[in-house]
Amino acid sequence: SSSGLIVSFGEMLIDFVPTVSGVSLAEAPGFLKAPGGAPANVAVAVARLGGKAAFVGKLGDDEFGRMLAGILEENGVSADGINFDQGARTALAFVTLRADGEREFMFYRNPSADMLLRPDELNLELITSAKVFHYGSISLIVEPCRSAHLEAMKAAKEAGALLSYDPNLRLPLWPSPEEAREQIMSIWDKAEVIKVSDVELEFLTGSDKIDDESALSLWHPNLKLLLVTLGEHGCRYYTKSFKGAVDAFRVKTVDTTGAGDAFVGALLCKIVDDQSAIEDEPRLREILKFANACGALSTTKKGAIPALPTESEALALLKR
């Protein structure tokens, strides 16, 4: 079945992840190079489920950039929207796995190639052929990629794409929390589908309550679907006419990196050809069940991209 194009805009980078937890990367006996960057993960999530995906962003013209572009292509994601910067290098993240299971990051971004994407470099033909245009926030942090982000959003919207937003807060990257909140809220009312995590909901509302009232305080008139993901507690959904919750699946979790991206990719795959499903609660609940299954499966293997499920893996979990 032919399906509409989902374009995912933003950063792609390499996470250097130590093979053991509780020590810094420098002290670890070894490390893995894991491709990451939420928008790139979403593009691969879509392609692995059989959808049509393109990634738009900038990589360094270096071994890391070529490795990342190769990973997208191997996974069936169009690389037609990728630019290579001749000067700056691909973004890198150096991860520490703390003994308590949390991750700490140090970034090579001074500036990295992704931050240097210019509006005049955008592949507008690709962007304007999107049925869904998905993006995060990291590309809002500095110019020129901020202008490129806003220009791409505008072009996609004018061409009739559904705009989908996952803030992917990553607070340590921002100059200050105030700036993060301000920039995120500056594009908030453009998106028609928004997915936030419980942590992002707390940050954006400034309240530690995760309930309908706090979620709905973020509602805006252009919004069609607001999702709050709650890890092992599943997700909550809000539309113009109804709200509810869908439980998560119980799985053997080993690494939650990229669960939100697996969830978003699955959701977008299911609505790209039929946006009316958003307004039909039983159908929306089926889609969110599928998205929860994909999120759950992505936690059962290490890494983000390697752990993204296929449609048959997701259907098998749904039947279990």
Q: Rule CB under 6 A: which residues touch ligand ADP?
A: 197, 229-232, 234-235, 248-249, 251, 253, 256, 259-260, 263, 292, 295-296, 299
Q: Given the complex with ligand ADP, which of 4 and 36 has the nearer CB atom?
A: 36
Paired sense of beta strands 225-229 and 235-238, if any: antiparallel
Amino acid (one-letter) located at 106 = M
| Residue 187 DSSP class | T
Q: Given the complex with ligand ADP, which of 14 and 308 has the nearer CB atom?
A: 308
The nearest distance, CB 231 to ligand ADP, in angstroms, is: 4
Helix residue ranges per DSSP H, 208-308: 212-216, 259-271, 281-298
Contact criterion met (CB below 8 Å) for 286 and 246: no
Q: Given the complex with ligand ADP, which of 65 and 295 has the nearer CB atom?
A: 295
The nearest distance, CB 304 to ligand ADP, in angstroms, is: 9
The nearest distance, CB 309 to ligand ADP, in angstroms, is: 11
Q: What token pair was written down for 313?
A: 């893996």
Q: Given the complex with ligand ADP, which of 65 and 167 has the nearer CB atom?
A: 167
Residue keyed to tokens 């990728």: 82
Paired sense of beta strands 225-229 and 193-197, if any: parallel
Q: Given the complex with ligand ADP, which of 23 and 245 has the nearer CB atom?
A: 245
Residues 6+ apart with CB under 8 A from 310: 48, 49, 50
The nearest distance, CB 6 to ligand ADP, in angstroms, is: 18
Backbone angles phi, psi at 180, to 5 degrees: -60, -50
Question: In angstroms, how far is CA 150 from the centroid of its own chain?
Answer: 17
Residue keyed to tokens 């959003």: 153
Q: Which residues are catalytic?
A: 261
Residue keyed to tokens 């962003």: 57
Contact criterion met (CB below 8 Å) for 165 and 39: no
Give strand pairing partners of 245: 236
Hey, is 124 helix, strand or coil? helix
Cα separation, 197 vs 195, in Å, equals: 7
Give strand pairing partners of 16: 33, 94
Q: Given the complex with ligand ADP, which of 296 and 307 has the nearer CB atom?
A: 296
Q: Given the complex with ligand ADP, which of 127 and 196 has the nearer CB atom?
A: 196
Helix, strand and coil in the chain, % to nearest 5: 40, 20, 35
The nearest distance, CB 233 to ligand ADP, in angstroms, is: 8
Cα separation, 233 vs 248, in Å, equals: 5
